[in-house]
């Protein structure tokens, strides 16, 4: 069965911007100067004359620079197709939308699989440990290159929301509004724990080989990355949605296999998720990006969350989802309270939705009008 994929945006190509050099690189949080850095990005719509309609979309852990349209190379629809396009929440008839792959990623932006100019080989484990702030500094360079001093809005779900928050902190004069969705000011102990287990699974795979698995024909740490992905996947769903989708449904209707083969539909689903993830993601990027998530802490160096927001200038729309237990709604509530206390304009909505953390990618009925009305308000000033 051929799946016909259509998008009002048609075919979209990824573009690339490179800056810096080994001698004059970006100063990272870890203290290292790092360069050159190539950024993979896509844009939609037109930048207006005042350069005041630019919106930056930041992706989550395993996302890329392709939120909408049909990918020129592989024909894939974007990961936020429901939200980005003409007349959609991020209305491409009205706004100029930018989305780039994060530093440390594996979708075109410089990451551990990229060639280290000093050695001619992939960075692998010599890639520096980066932070969400480093990702944002790279995005700032791109945004400047595109001729934009001030963004109308920065938006993102999950780790994308952390980037939106970091933008407000690092560049308070360059962000008019932020939409941190299904996110938190820092991971909980449980969030750090899930990430750590994913990393241990990858590093325990013999094929990880200290991060060096990029030689042609060399085996990759596919088992470890699959385990990390399977684990992550459960945390993105809700118990309720898993029960609804799979329950205890068996693959073979008649009986148990009395083996360790796949008996349950949920096992089959997870195995499939692990397999397809290996085709599209690099294990080292998984290590580096999850570490950046662990490290992100909006209150770091501040006495309180309120103080953190007091040093920002943006208007905020926080959105959380009732069944999201990875980034629980109470964290968005805490942020909205703190931002209000700090004198910021704040809207906060907790959307009742059954699909757990993934709701931010799936739900548009309530999310889309909230976003478009908020953006219109800010745009009109």
Indicate which residues carry an active-site annotation.
158, 324, 357
CA–CA distances in Å: residue 24 to residues 27, 37, 120, 199, 362:
9, 11, 18, 31, 42
With a CB cutoff of 8 Å and minimum separation 6, the contacts of 226 are: 271, 274, 275, 277, 278
Contact pick of 18, 119, 190, 352 for a second copy (by CB under 8 A): 190
* Tokens read off for 148: 């934009």
Beta bridge partners of 155: 57, 179
Terminal CA-CA length for the chain: 49
Q: Position of tokens 């941190």?
A: 180
Q: 283-295 and 159-170 are packed helices; what angle lies between their axes, rounded to 10 degrees?
A: 50
Kindly write out the interface string for residues 109-128 of this chain, putting x where it contacts a second copy by CB under 8 A and - elsewhere: -------------------x
Closer Cβ to a second copy, 6 or 259, answer by number: 259
CA distance 65 to 15: 9
Near a second copy by CB under 8 A: residue from 95, 127, 277, 295:
295
Closest CA to 68 of 103, 98, 108: 98
Q: Which of residues 12-41 bind a second copy (CB under 8 A)?
A: 29-31
55 - beta bridge partners?
97, 153
Q: Tell me the site size for a second copy, rule CB under 8 A.
A: 55
**59, 176, 199, 344: residue in contact with a second copy (rule CB under 8 A):** 199
CA distance 61 to 131: 13
Q: Quick one: which segment of 37-45, 136-144, 157-165, 241-249 binds a second copy (CB under 8 A)?
A: 241-249
The residues facing 181 across adjacent strands are: 157, 319
- Closer of 194 and 318 to a second copy (Cβ): 194
Q: Is 263 in the site for a second copy (CB under 8 A)?
A: yes
Task: For 320-348, give the DSSP string.
Answer: EETT-SSS-HHHHHHHHHHHHHTT--EEE
Residue 134 marked in a binding site: no
**CB of residue 157 to a second copy, shortest distance in Å:** 20
Mapped onto helix, strand or coil, the DSSP state of residue 347 is: strand
Nearest C-alpha neighbor of 241 from the set 266, 275, 272: 266
Nearer to a second copy, 149 or 196 (CB): 196
Q: Using the rule CB under 8 A, is 307 a contact of a second copy?
A: no
Q: Which of residues 324-343 bind a second copy (CB under 8 A)?
A: 325, 328
Interface characters, 209-238, with a second copy (x: CB under 8 A): --------------xx-xx--xx--x--x-
Residue list for the binding site: 229, 358
Interface contacts to a second copy, rule CB under 8 A: 29-31, 128-129, 186-190, 192-194, 196-197, 199-201, 203-206, 223-224, 226-227, 230-231, 234, 237, 239, 242-243, 245-248, 256, 258-260, 263-264, 266-267, 270-271, 274, 287, 291, 294-295, 297, 325, 328
Residue list for the binding site for substrate: 229, 358
């Amino acid at each position: 069965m051929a799946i016909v994929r259509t998008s009002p945006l048609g075919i979209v190509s990824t573009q690339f911007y490179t800056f810096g050099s080994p001698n004059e690189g970006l100063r990272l949080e870890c203290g290292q100067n790092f360069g050159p850095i190539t950024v993979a990005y896509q844009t939609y719509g037109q930048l207006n004359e005042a350069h005041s309609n630019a919106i930056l979309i930041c992706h989550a852990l395993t996302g890329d620079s392709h939120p909408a349209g049909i990918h020129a190379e592989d024909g894939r629809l974007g990961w936020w197709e429901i939200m980005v396009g003409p007349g959609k929440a991020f209305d491409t008839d009205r706004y100029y939308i930018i989305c780039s792959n994060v530093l440390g990623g594996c979708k075109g932006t410089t990451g551990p699989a990229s060639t280290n100019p000093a050695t001619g080989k992939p960075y692998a484990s010599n890639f520096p440990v980066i932070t969400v702030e480093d990702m944002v500094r790279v995005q700032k360079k791109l945004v400047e290159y595109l001729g934009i001093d001030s963004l109308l809005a920065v938006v993102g779900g999950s780790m994308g929301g952390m980037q939106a928050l970091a933008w407000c902190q690092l560049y308070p004069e360059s962000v008019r509004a932020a939409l941190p969705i299904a996110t938190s000011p820092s991971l909980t102990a449980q969030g750090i724990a899930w990430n750590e287990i994913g990393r241990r699974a990858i590093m325990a795979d013999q094929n990880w080989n200290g991060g060096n698995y990029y030689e042609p024909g060399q085996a990759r740490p596919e088992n470890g990355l699959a385990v990390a992905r399977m684990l992550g996947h459960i945390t993105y769903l809700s118990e309720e949605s898993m029960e609804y989708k799979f329950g205890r449904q068996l693959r073979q209707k008649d009986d148990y296999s009395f083996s360790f083969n796949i008996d349950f539909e949920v096992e089959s689903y997870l195995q499939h998720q692990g397999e397809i993830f290996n085709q599209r993601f690099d294990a080292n990027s998984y290590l580096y990006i999850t570490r950046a998530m662990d490290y992100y802490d909006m209150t770091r160096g501040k006495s309180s969350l309120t103080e953190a927001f007091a040093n920002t200038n943006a208007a905020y729309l926080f959105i959380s989802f009732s069944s999201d237990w990875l980034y629980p709604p109470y964290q968005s509530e805490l942020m909205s309270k703190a931002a209000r206390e700090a004198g910021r304009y704040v809207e906060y909505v907790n959307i009742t939705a059954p699909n757990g953390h993934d709701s931010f990618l799936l739900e548009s009925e309530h999310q889309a009008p909230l976003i478009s009305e908020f953006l219109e308000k800010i745009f009109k000033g």
